[in-house]
A and B are shown apart, each in its own frame.
Chain A
């Protein structure tokens, strides 16, 4: 019998260290491991380097002062007002170091790390300000093979995005870390896990292995237990982003953005939705949704 890896959010937080490089799965405001992000946000950890296709995950970690450096292809809430307010504040105040890159370079860097390669060549980035964002960290590589016309290609040498820890949210998993997605897109979650030393999976539904393989076509089983260290059962854990079983909470996402507008509104948001454990968060979200209905 394979190891039972079911864990609590507290178990995960206990393994966090200052200065870690962490990768966060999902994409923009889509299937983000928000329960884990909230746990990191309310922990004592600091000086994180974050690798992400960014959304409110990066925003919340910026809001709580956790981020020293960010590697990202974009940061988007995917719906109006699109730009994350806390990421924007961190950038315009110069409080984080940006290692901005083309979206395809994020995938490339994770693939290099997953294959234990120091770099992979990629065309994306050439001629753009990406190389200037990286302040000398990003180099080019000349092909040892000339093209047919005798010229030689020089490409971006995308360094491996090696992660100390990866955090992802999937729709359904077993206790051993086998897991799959039920929506239209796997995003890059398997790559984040494969690029990391410690691998944390949160999941909406925890089922037996037999139920998992009976429910999902094989091609949806993108994660196997070799690449998972802890499994956290977190129903609705991707909230307010969407997951396979539920849509994005657009109203709550707008509320998050509006709350960032002043110190008072953010303090209220923090008291109610961040300085609380996950169960309280989910209860308060349910209450908040009822309040919105009543106000209509």
Chain B
């Protein structure tokens, strides 16, 4: 079987997204990485195979994986993590989740519940799921495969994930709120703009500030000066292409 050439192939947008998702976990240490979609899952596993060997990852059901298998595969396990123990981990703070989002506003409030009024929505999704508990307890990041002004809105319809403008500084129960990153198909963002607003950390190669601005309802801090997202290393590309995602699942989520 021939192995794909890791260095001479053009680096795809999806691969920039995977390495940007891996960077979400830089310095995370010995905590549970809980990615909720393929691209951040590949990112978490890439981080674990490179700089963050002590991350805990699961099979998405109830088992903690000892090895770092390809996406869709399971391997040897090292422990048990049924749902009720996940809530213990959430409360402990030793976790970093990467959730999806139907809507995100400039302060990091997120919606995956429903569109429209609380008791009479126009479209029903999942309900708030674990988003309120995740965001108030431990680092939370978001992955958006299609960056658009329908996702990045002025006001979310229902606050499932808590944003920085909801923090009551007098109440220490809010002290762990940390919306760490937003990675999209266009770039990498955080909420360290003025007054904890969304700012651009980098744009992927080929993405312009205008393109991001056109696809975001609110102004993003630092957009005009944002650097280009770091190029994946040869080692990262080899792991993504040969070890973690030989079938190219990443290219179905990000075109």
Binding site for B on A (CB under 8 A): 27, 54, 72-76, 82-83, 87-88, 91-94, 97-98, 100-105, 107, 122-130, 132-133, 147, 149, 151-155, 184-188
Contact pattern, B 93-125, Cβ under 8 Å of A = 1, otherwise 0: 000000000000000000001101011111111
A residues near B162, Cβ cutoff 8 Å: 126-128
Check if B62 is an interface residue, CB within 8 A of chain A.
Answer: yes
Q: How large is the interface on B (under 10, 10 to 19, 20 to 34, 35 or more residues)?
A: 35 or more
Question: How many angstroms from the CA of A33 to the CA of B133 in the assembled complex?
Answer: 27
Q: Which of B166-189 contact A (CB under 8 A)?
A: 166-168, 170-174, 176-177
By CB atoms of chain B within 10 A, which of A73, A87, A103, A105 has the most?
A: A103
List 10 A-B pairs, minimum CB-CB distance, nearest first: A124-B133, A127-B166, A88-B124, A127-B162, A128-B132, A94-B120, A184-B62, A102-B132, A185-B82, A104-B133
Question: How many angstroms from the CA of A69 to the CA of B160 in the assembled complex?
Answer: 20
B residues near A73, Cβ cutoff 8 Å: 127-130
Smallest CB separation, B135 vs chain A (Å): 8
B residues near A72, Cβ cutoff 8 Å: 127
Check if B61 is an interface residue, CB within 8 A of chain A.
Answer: yes
- Tell me the interface secondary structure of chain B in the complex: loop
Interface residue stretch chosen among B2-10, B83-91, B195-203, B227-235: B83-91
Smallest CB separation, B77 vs chain A (Å): 10
Check if B49 is an interface residue, CB within 8 A of chain A.
Answer: no
Known pairs A100-B113, A125-B132, A184-B82; A76 contacts B124 (CB<8 A): no
B127:A100 contact, CB within 8 angstroms: yes
A128:B128 contact, CB within 8 angstroms: yes
Question: How many angstroms from the CA of A69 to the CA of B3 in the assembled complex?
Answer: 57
Check if B137 is an interface residue, CB within 8 A of chain A.
Answer: yes
Known pairs A153-B172, A154-B171, A185-B62; A104 contacts B128 (CB<8 A): no
A residues near B61, Cβ cutoff 8 Å: 184-185
* Closest B residue to A155 using CB positions: B173
Contact pattern, B 155-171, Cβ under 8 Å of A = 1, otherwise 0: 00011111100111011
Smallest CB separation, B224 vs chain A (Å): 31
Known pairs A103-B133, A153-B173; A130 contacts B121 (CB<8 A): no
A126:B173 contact, CB within 8 angstroms: yes
A residues near B91, Cβ cutoff 8 Å: 104, 122-124
A residues near B28, Cβ cutoff 8 Å: none
By CB atoms of chain A within 10 A, which of B84, B124, B133, B168 has the most?
A: B133
Check if B42 is an interface residue, CB within 8 A of chain A.
Answer: no
B residues near A92, Cβ cutoff 8 Å: 116, 120-124
Check if B136 is an interface residue, CB within 8 A of chain A.
Answer: yes
B123:A126 contact, CB within 8 angstroms: no
Check if B24 is an interface residue, CB within 8 A of chain A.
Answer: no
30 CB-based A-B contacts, threshold 8 Å: A27-B83, A74-B128, A75-B126, A76-B126, A88-B123, A100-B118, A100-B128, A101-B128, A103-B129, A104-B90, A107-B84, A123-B176, A124-B133, A125-B132, A125-B133, A126-B136, A127-B163, A127-B167, A127-B177, A128-B136, A129-B118, A129-B128, A132-B118, A147-B172, A151-B172, A154-B171, A184-B62, A185-B61, A185-B82, A186-B84
B128:A91 contact, CB within 8 angstroms: no
A residues near B130, Cβ cutoff 8 Å: 73, 102-104, 124
A133:B118 contact, CB within 8 angstroms: yes
* Closest B residue to A154 using CB positions: B171
Question: How many angstroms from the CA of A147 to the CA of B176 in the assembled complex?
Answer: 14
Check if B31 is an interface residue, CB within 8 A of chain A.
Answer: no
Known pairs A102-B133, A127-B167; A91 contacts B124 (CB<8 A): yes
Other A-B contacts than A87-B124, A124-B90, A126-B132, 13 sampled, CB-CB below 8 A, are: A92-B120, A98-B119, A102-B133, A103-B129, A104-B91, A124-B130, A126-B174, A127-B135, A127-B174, A185-B61, A186-B82, A186-B84, A188-B84
Smallest CB separation, B97 vs chain A (Å): 12
Question: How many angstroms from the CA of A187 to the CA of B84 in the assembled complex?
Answer: 7
B residues near A101, Cβ cutoff 8 Å: 128, 132
B residues near A151, Cβ cutoff 8 Å: 170-172
A130:B119 contact, CB within 8 angstroms: no
